[in-house]
Amino acid sequence: MTTTIRIGIIGAGMAGQAHAFGYRNASMARDLGDIDVQLHTIADPNLELAQSVAHRYGFANAVADIEAFLANPEIDAVSVALPNHLHAEVLPKVIASGKHLFAEKPIGRTREEAGRLADLAEACTAVTGVGFSFRRLPGLAALAQAVQNGAVGKVHTVRAWYNADYAVDPSGALSWRYSQEQSGGGALLDIGAHAIDAAQFVVGPVSRVLNSTLRTVITERPKPAAGAIGHGGATTEERGPVTNDDVALLTVEFDGGAVGQITLSRIASGVPNSLGVEAFGSNGHAVFDSISAGEFHLFESGVASAAFNGPRRIFTGPEHPYFNDVAAMPGAGVGTGYAEAFVAEIQEFLRCVRDGSPMDTNFKTAVSMMSVVGAALEAAESNTPVDVDSRQHA
């Protein structure tokens, strides 16, 4: 029996386009052969952008009116990729519509906002997933499995990072990302969401933020011209203040007893986009860096004589999670990257819609990440350690 799933996307910016790419390629997974994915509508108040994205990614329609979009019974499943301050307004409407929902991270600007949205998601029967896309990189997913299976022993020290350079140019537009009010956090949340989630994915929940330092290095920027999206966009003569962090440095403690450092920067000159996790344990270590997304490194002490034992560089392939569903060719080393992570997360969402099962990255996962962000903001403000509210963890 074929399940038809008619897709709509709200928000045609950088992330909305990545979702469109994911839906367009999702049915390449063999186990999704019984799904008919219909690319129905792109919705964005910027109609010209919606039309261009619909055309480029093969969606049948483009609309500017989000309310009319939500009332359309022809749409079964919806991705939401709007600026963070609109999530609290739009996500409840999608939930109320009864349509399946795949929301971009973060689902709110604060842990309280995210918590309220998670309560709504809990009470509905549709699938409510959240896009923690880095988890779908085969190398990171395989590393998480290895650590959880005890390959490195008991983890005691963790390093996680997200370094990016999208904000390094002071003449870059002052988009919603640079407003604490509209975003909920600078590097700490925009990219920190992924690094914190990745650390928790590999090692388990963070229980305490011991120390948190936030810095705004570029304190003002030119305001964006209408229609600017993503990290680029034209600017105006007028300037405005940056009200959130360019750099965030956290020291944390995990439930399992490990300590860790999480380094986040959106002004890491010369490092365009690198998320990584390194875990040291009683029996070895494991490390992944998205800049070389097709591989990870593992050291297990005692597997060979001391003279020949060292970290192994493992190239991802058909044996690793997600690889077979997204790789262009079925052989290790052909490489997968961030584009394929979006395909894999959308495939997972569609499987859940077909099967009526909950998604592994959901509103609770998002609240768990936001709880760490909330504790980090509090720790930076008070200059004291702050416990992560354990009730907020999934």
Rounded-to-integer distance, Cα 362 and Cα 383, Å: 31
Sign, Cα dihedral of 115, 117, 122, 127: negative
Among the listed residues 13, 139, 184, 260, the single contact to ligand NAD using CB under 6 A: 13
330 makes contact with ligand NAD (CB under 6 A): no
Binding window for ligand NAD (CB under 6 A); candidates: 9-17, 197-205, 249-257, 323-331? 9-17
Rounded-to-integer distance, Cα 188 and Cα 199, Å: 14
Residues in the chain: 394
79 makes contact with ligand NAD (CB under 6 A): no
Binding window for ligand NAD (CB under 6 A); candidates: 67-75, 77-85, 143-151, 205-213? 77-85
271 makes contact with ligand NAD (CB under 6 A): no
Query: Strand 155-164 vs strand 273-281: parallel, antiparallel, or unpaired?
Result: antiparallel
273 makes contact with ligand NAD (CB under 6 A): no
Q: Measured from the CB atom, is 32 or 275 closer to ligand NAD?
A: 275
Q: Measured from the CB atom, is 254 or 349 closer to ligand NAD?
A: 349
49 makes contact with ligand NAD (CB under 6 A): yes
Among the listed residues 41, 97, 133, 265, the single contact to ligand NAD using CB under 6 A: 133
Among the listed residues 8, 16, 108, 284, the single contact to ligand NAD using CB under 6 A: 16
Task: Kindly list the strands in the beta sheet with 77-80, ordered across the sheet, starting from the edge strand earlier in the chain.
Answer: 61-63, 35-43, 3-10, 77-80, 100-104, 128-131
46 makes contact with ligand NAD (CB under 6 A): yes
Residue type, 378: E
11 makes contact with ligand NAD (CB under 6 A): yes
Number of residues that bind ligand NAD (CB under 6 A): 24
Tell me how far, at minimum, the Cβ of 186 lies from ligand NAD, in Å: 12
Tell me how far, at minimum, the Cβ of 115 lies from ligand NAD, in Å: 17
The residue with tokens 């930076």 is 380
Subset of 221-260 contacting ligand NAD (CB under 6 A): 229-230
**Radius of gyration, alpha carbons of the chain:** 21
Q: Measured from the CB atom, is 84 or 347 closer to ligand NAD?
A: 84
Binding window for ligand NAD (CB under 6 A); candidates: 13-21, 161-169, 254-262, 372-380? 13-21
Q: Which of 28, 94, 38, 32 is nearest to 61 (CA)?
A: 38
104 makes contact with ligand NAD (CB under 6 A): yes
Tell me how far, at minimum, the Cβ of 220 lies from ligand NAD, in Å: 19
In the complex, the residues that contact ligand NAD under the rule CB under 6 A are: 11-16, 44-46, 49, 81-84, 86, 104-105, 131, 133, 175-176, 190, 229-230
